[in-house]
Amino acid sequence: MADEPIQTEDTKLTRTKRKWADEGRFLTGRISRPEADRLPPGQHLVKNWPVLDLGQQPQISKAQWRLDVRGLVNKSTTFDWNALLSLPQTQTHSDIHCVTTWSRYDNDWSGVTTRDFLDAVDPQPEAVAVMLTSYDGYTTNLLLSDFAAEDAIIVHSWKGEPLAEKHGGPVRLVVPHLYFWKSAKWLHRIEFLNADRAGFWEKNGYHMRGDPWAEERYSDD
């Protein structure tokens, strides 16, 4: 399923978000700093956890789930569920910020930090970025420096419970310091690259990096 292309032409969400990118929707022009203000500019707080996807929510059991690691690593491998749990397990606490302007404070995650994951797969010196691929075919890119951020984590649980399918379970990435479209749901493949390369939303008008404090919502192109 991960290799099937996403059919974007008739997707209402995709058309809408392309229009937002063209219009520069939600941009405030304000400057904020995380050390001075917990809520990035242009964001509003929610208590629930909104669900946004491309019309598919893959049903992947723990027994079926695999994470393929390819590209510029010294240890190309495929993790199954037990292999993931054999890595060091960590609990983290962070906020999340969606490009569609909602933010949710105080999320408790359990999983494998990306730094522990990198220790396990051993990236080659030429690797500067990663491409994440989901079980629904979604892709998004990250600089390796962002993927390796201190609070970035490959998540299997939220608030002590298995991560729900609608939120990307059984396994997703969480990179709290970037907009949440960078935190790929239903994670299936991580490819290590020698150059940054646009993923799905990045090809559709969104920023290559996505820093909420700098309001990096949309491409400058």
Q: In CATH, what number is assigned to the domain containing residue 133?
A: 3.90.420.10
Question: H/E element holding 139?
Answer: strand 139-143
- Specify the higher pLDDT residue, 27 or 145: 145
The C-alpha angle 99, 130, 24, rounded to 5 degrees, equals 25
Q: Indicate if the pLDDT at residue 69 is higher than 80.
A: yes
28 found inside a domain: no
Q: Indicate if the pLDDT at residue 191 is higher than 60.
A: yes
Cβ contacts of residue 37 below 8 Å, gap of 6+? none
9 found inside a domain: no
32 found inside a domain: no
33 found inside a domain: no
In the chain, what is the straight-line distance between the N-terminal and C-terminal CA atoms, in Å? 31
Q: Indicate if the pLDDT at residue 11 is higher than 60.
A: yes
Whether residue 125 has a cis bond before it, omega within 30° of 0? no
* Structural domain for 115, as ranges: 62-214
pLDDT grade for 52, boundaries at 50, 70 and 90: confident
91 found inside a domain: yes
Residue 18 has a pLDDT of: 59
Residue 57 has a pLDDT of: 86
Quote the mean pLDDT of the chain.
Answer: 89
Question: H/E element holding 93?
Answer: strand 90-97
Per-residue 3-state assignment (H helix, E strand, C coil) for 106-118: EEEEEEEEHHHHH
115 found inside a domain: yes
Residue 37 has a pLDDT of: 78
pLDDT grade for 176, boundaries at 50, 70 and 90: very high
Pairwise CA distance, residues 214 & 82, whole Å: 39
192 found inside a domain: yes
Number of separate helices (H) and strands (E) present in the chain:
4, 11
CA distance readout (Å), 41 to 105, 165, 203: 15, 30, 24
Pairing of strands 172-174, 44-45: unpaired
Residue 56 has a pLDDT of: 75
184 found inside a domain: yes
pTM of this structure: 0.84
**DSSP code for 137:** S
Which residue, 166, 147, 204, is CA-closest to 8? 204
Pairwise CA distance, residues 58 & 61, whole Å: 10
Q: Indicate if the pLDDT at residue 129 is higher than 70.
A: yes
Count how many domains the chain has: 1
Pairwise CA distance, residues 176 & 155, whole Å: 12
